[in-house]
Structure 1
Amino acid sequence: MLSYPHLTSILQALRPPLTEAVVTSTLAPRLVETWLNDYARTAGNYDIVETRADGFSYLFDISAERLIAAWGLSKGKDASPRAIIATRMKGHPLTNMVGGKRYHRGHAVPHTMGGRTDINLVPQLGVINSGRFQELERLAVATPGSLYFTYWRYPDARTQRPSGVEQGCLIAGSAPYIADLRN
């Protein structure tokens, strides 16, 4: 798992809920710097953009056509109908991937928190997506004003299937909750 220096002391000094201003000025720059330093070790040539969609931020490598990280503030449970999302998800590539039936089109930011499709979908082992991954998703949904993130690790510059993910829920006033999951 990556080291997130000073994250605990920053969070414990803040009062809930986190605000967009605190995320933008303090937390996101530290997280993005940590992720990009790690990503550069295995990525080779890369062309990274940061974009926002539906209230969430994404780091995407255009050269490798893969998501690096996603993050955003929880606003609690999102009640958008899943039927529309399911139709969009069907078009996301997955079937040609080695071990394709074991993988889901997993959400980097959960649908229950407002995460949609397209850039937000990542090949994820079904046993992780339907298991341990849901623990921090549920915590973030149940804690409006928390910062939820996923950082996707790749074994080399060629694959679009992540080998692991760091998933976090940052709540003002407490230690960070971060899970390191193999994919």
Structure 2
Amino acid sequence: MADIKQHFWDDMVHRWAGLYAEAFPKHGDISTQNFWGYAFVIDHVWDPPPGEDADPELPETRVLGAFGISGYPVNPKNRNIMRRYLGKSSRVYAEYGPSYDKGHFIAHATGGPIDANLFPQKREINRGWSKEGKRYREMERFVAAHPGIFVFSRPIYSDLGSCPFEVEFGYCDSKMNWRVEVFPNR
């Protein structure tokens, strides 16, 4: 698993950043940051200096991908903290409508953190209410039941907002079998 993680550090981060830069030539500073053992590739768009307007052609600060070796929940209390973090999903993601939750790029049950890890995710996917959602939740449950396997998530954006159009999600099990799927999010 360490070799796969290193491959993502060495190659996939650059590939993801390249694909993103092709789709969004005007972007912020792309960097990779660690949160609780997971790497997050982030396009950080800085606030303009006082008195200046934000550039309307720049995207919001957002995650381009996350990956790492699955573990255990960071803190059992995080579930309650997440419910309170930023407020109710219906208020936080009001611009996308009432059908969005605070989803995780990396599930909390596998050691995913709260802050950079949260994104507006279609409720039917996040909660497993649709056909695609059932597959998504099945994959998350598999990763949670098998700590120590490689997992990744890559949002695919269609506009300048922080809500992905699709989310590519995958893992590699202990026998080196990959499962990768793309899930709708709009």
TM-score class, shorter-chain normalisation, is 0.7 to 0.9
Structure number with the bigger relative contact order (C-alpha 8 A, sep ≥ 6) is: 1
The match for 1:72 is 68
Aligned length: 162
Alignment of 1:59-138 (within 5 A): 59-63=41-45, 64-76=60-72, 80-81=76-77, 82-90=79-87, 94-99=92-97, 101-131=98-128, 132=133, 133-138=136-141
Aligned-pair Cα RMSD in Å: 2.1
For 1:182 and 1:41, the matched residues in 2 are separated by 21
| TM-score normalized with structure 1 length | 0.79
Q: 1:49 to 1:127 in 2, by over 3 A?
A: same
Bigger mean CA deviation after superposition, 79-88 or 116-125: 79-88
CA contact (8 A) 2:86 2:92 kept: no
| TM-score normalized with structure 2 length | 0.77
The match for 1:155 is 158
Matched, 1:55 2:53: no
CA contact (8 A) 2:5 2:150 kept: no
CA contact (8 A) 2:73 2:112 kept: no
The match for 1:31 is 12
For 1:43 and 1:59, the matched residues in 2 are separated by 15
Moved over 6 A (4+): none
For 2:16 and 2:26, the matched residues in 1 are separated by 16
Q: Give unpaired runs (5+ residues) of structure 1.
A: 1-17
Deviation at 1:179, TM superposition (A): 0.9
Alignment of 1:158-173 (within 5 A): 158-173=160-175
